Chains A and B, each alone.
Chain A
Amino acid sequence: MTNFKIFKYANPAKFLYLCEKTFIYLVLLTIIFLSFGLYQGFFNSPEDYQQGNLVRIMYVHVPSAWMALMIYSSIAIASCIYLINKHLLANIFCKSASLIGASFTLIAIVTGSIWGKPTWGTWWVWDARLTSVLILFFLFVGYMVLFDAFDDPTKGARAAGILVIVGFVFVPIIKFSVDILELRTLHQGASVSKLSAPSVHESMLWPLLVMALAYAAYFISLLLVRMRSAILAARVRSLRMMQAQRASRAAIVPERP
């Protein structure tokens, strides 16, 4: 019966209408922000006095870490809404956003590693920030696996929702692992001190913020595609179920002459 509920709630005509109307503008916005951000990052921002051109990795690395944290937090909030209100659109949001969040986390880890090699002399260290971001990635992966681990999709959604809410304790740890707690970390000494001190020059802050906007626009446009896809999947499931029920009823009760 849950599938009929999904059919009922996950088909808000308003949401699909909004998707169709805004999608093309979101894609355009992504392209505009991305080209402007890349132009600013490569041609209109200076080399760092310590890192030289390597600082340009920041424009692709830092916004993906921001997005990873933002998406994880939004999934945690949406999971609360789903667990309390049983609002199925919230559930569809969680399912659709998780893979995008995992991808941004992966980008943050890999680009950070590539940045670390020439600046710190190592691809990886097990310090507070790097380890906690790796745990965030595993949380995303575990969330997606748990979501699909049950035959009953509502059971999976509930279990995964609890996991993501419990894992939310890591978000402040990640956020403040370099900013406030002053844990010993390579990350702090090498680059974030420049962010916490007001020494990120405007010429570097602008491309960073524009790239963050580009990532956000990308996230929302892709989210709409994935949510529509998930809604269609729910519809397909309920159509299949209806047809199966009709078929079994026809098999049990013979047609009247």
Chain B
Amino acid sequence: MTVHGYAQSEMSATEAESLRSKVQIAATNTQTISSDFTQYKHIDFLSNDIESKGTLTFEAPDKVKWEYSTPFSYSVIFKNKTLYINDEGNKNSMDLGSNKTFKQLNELITSSIRGDMFDAQRFTISYFTKDDRSVVHFLPKDEQFSEFIQVFHLTFNTKGEVEEVKMIEPSGDYTQIVFSNRILNQPLSDADFSH
């Protein structure tokens, strides 16, 4: 994986406000998203990141499906406030302990798409620019949650769309999810979120 060493600088209050409204407008105009993603799990003592790939499907206001296809088959669907898991054919299996993390991540993704993610009550938020992209850091204020994830970094492109999510654990290990081939507002059906 290539890590770009470009410096990032903190945004002014005006720039941050401008980003928030840009994300809000993009969100209002987004009903559905289909996107590929590549996930890099970085664990400090491993020689290589663990790489997995799949697709993300989103339908406003809050249906999300993460479907991993390589190197394993696994999907997790959030709909009707329920978490559905298909682990290589094992359906409805309990997802241990991570429900809260998944829910919060899901809320963060869906909120970012809807444009109301900038919740200062739940997160300490800081804004940066990095090349032509915007990077926003969300530090969870909930102590229990920050035991899992110390900080989320969301990277937005110039259109105000989420390009990358990085979840950094207190140990410094992190999960980075990079989106590609995004298709907006393509009609989706229930089958796209079937379990």
The reply to whether chain A is a binding partner of chain B is: no
B residues near A (Cβ < 8 Å) are none
